[in-house]
């Protein structure tokens, strides 16, 4: 729409300004990177957590756009739970230290008392959060469901 704004005579000056805010500032600065990396399932937990952190930081630049994006995006984070976070083990871009922390949590951290697949993370906790913070002994269910042996946890 931004590219053809001159042809869109129906756009008011205010709508044009809002379109600029959305397209050039939000989409170009933040969203486009995550859009193109969305097809990589194993990196999704890491990239989505990073995306949320950037949205939270973007509140300082544009509170209205950041809040709208956070509201929409946090509704689609069903896989960021104790079981599905096991997928992150296979993320090649994940530092070995974080991968080790996930494995440690898989064998030692108690799961949440009540498991909710659709548990929403508390946004206030996310800036200091790491992928490994989402793992627990319940994460081992991911490997069991897929029939993946966890012998490598001990390596």
pLDDT digits 0-9 by tens, 13-43: 787 777 777 776 777 778 888 888 778 889 8
**What is the reported pTM?**
0.77
CA angle 110, 106, 85 (to 5 degrees): 105
How many other C-beta atoms lie within 10 A of the C-beta of residue 85?
25
* pLDDT tens readout for residues 45-104: 898 889 899 999 989 988 988 898 888 888 877 778 888 899 999 999 999 999 999 999
- What is the end-to-end Cα distance of the chain in Å, rounded? 53
The first and second tokens of residue 76, run together, are 């689609």
Burial of 148 (0-12, 13-18, 19+ CB in 10 A): middle
Distance CA 70, CA 28 (A): 17
**Which of 128, 125, 131 has the alpha carbon at shortest distance from 48?**
131
**Helix, strand, or coil (residue 148):** coil
The first and second tokens of residue 118, run together, are 């659709």
**Which of 42, 73, 75 has the alpha carbon at shortest distance from 58?**
73
The domain segmentation of the chain, as residue ranges, is: 38-154
Per-residue exposure over 57-74, b if at least 16 CB sit within 10 Å of its own CB, e if not: ebeeebeebbeebbeeeb
């Amino acid at each position: 729409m931004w590219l053809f704004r001159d042809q869109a005579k129906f756009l008011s000056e205010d709508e044009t300004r809002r379109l600029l805010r959305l397209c050039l500032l939000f989409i170009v600065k933040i969203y486009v990177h995550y859009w193109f990396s969305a097809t990589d399932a194993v990196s999704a937990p890491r990239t989505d957590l990073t995306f949320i952190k950037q949205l939270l930081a973007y509140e300082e630049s544009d509170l209205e756009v950041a809040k709208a994006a956070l509201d929409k995006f946090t509704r689609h984070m069903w896989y960021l739970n104790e079981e599905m976070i096991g997928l992150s083990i296979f993320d090649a871009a994940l530092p070995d230290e974080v991968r080790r922390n996930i494995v440690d949590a898989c064998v030692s951290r108690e799961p949440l008392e009540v498991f909710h697949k659709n548990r929403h993370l508390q946004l206030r906790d996310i800036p200091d959060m790491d992928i490994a913070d989402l793992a627990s002994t319940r994460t081992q269910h991911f490997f069991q469901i897929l029939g993946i042996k966890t012998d490598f946890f001990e390596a």
